[in-house]
Chain A
Amino acid sequence: EDKVVQSPLSLVVHEGDTVTLNCSYEVTNFRSLLWYKQEKKAPTFLFMLTSSGIEKKSGRLSSILDKKELFSILNITATQTGDSAVYLCAVNNNDMRFGAGTRLTVKP
């Protein structure tokens, strides 16, 4: 059975901290792994990863994929209160399978 597992499920940090969110997967016909940020409504797209070892970066966020060990990490440096959200990992394998998400709370 295909599965996508995120950890931790929730995380509380203070502004300025660096966080690492994890996503591991076991799926057939892997095509890509995507990270989304969800605040109150729709998930907003962050990164799509298809190749191992190539870091994607956008401002304070970065992500990398390891297709041998079947996981990805999302790093956020110098966290801000606006980073508080649920971060969803999804794997595209003909369908889109989402992990349960990591709820990040950044305190002032």
Chain B
Amino acid sequence: DTEVTQTPKHLVMGMTNKKSLKCEQHMGHRAMYWYKQKAKKPPELMFVYSYEKLSINESVPSRFSPECPNSSLLNLHLHALQPEDSALYLCASSQDRGGFSYEQYFGPGTRLTVT
């Protein structure tokens, strides 16, 4: 099973709402990632969890709050977002963050629209 699943597929939320994006993998990977991708742009790394600990936060605003409840699950909690936060949010996982090299497997993404 090389699948990373994400829910929901689409989300429309107002600027005062609180919502969460979910990501799950059952490949035994110990590193999980959140990326943001705007239209016609490459993915931009937001957060990295390694062994369920936050290891990288790429200066992401606090209205995005990641959570890793266990090694298979990754959440992204959203609060007081702005319209410019509308994007495709991709989750990925890899065997490990360290080591010489690794490949990341991506989920299908959640397309978020902030109104």
On whether the beta carbons of A99 and B100 are closer than 8 Å, the reply is: no
On whether the beta carbons of B106 and A92 are closer than 8 Å, the reply is: no
- Interchain Cβ contacts within 8 Å, total number: 50
Binding site for A on B (CB under 8 A): 4, 33, 41-45, 48, 56, 58, 88, 90, 97, 100-109
With CB as the reference atom, state the residue of chain B lying closest to A47: B103
On whether the beta carbons of A48 and B42 are closer than 8 Å, the reply is: no
B4, B43, B88, B109: the one contacting A98 at CB < 8 Å is: B43
With CB as the reference atom, state the residue of chain A lying closest to B90: A42
Q: How far is the CA of A44 from the CA of B105 in the complex (A)?
A: 7
Contacts of B102 in A (CB 8 A): 32, 48, 92
Q: How far is the CA of A31 from the CA of B94 in the complex (A)?
A: 14
Q: Binary interface profile of A, 9-49, with partner B (CB < 8 Å = 1, else 0)?
A: 00000000000000000000001101010000111110010
Q: How far is the CA of A48 from the CA of B95 in the complex (A)?
A: 14
B41, B43, B106: the one contacting A44 at CB < 8 Å is: B106
For residue B41, give the distance in angstroms from its CB to the closest CB of chain A. Answer: 7
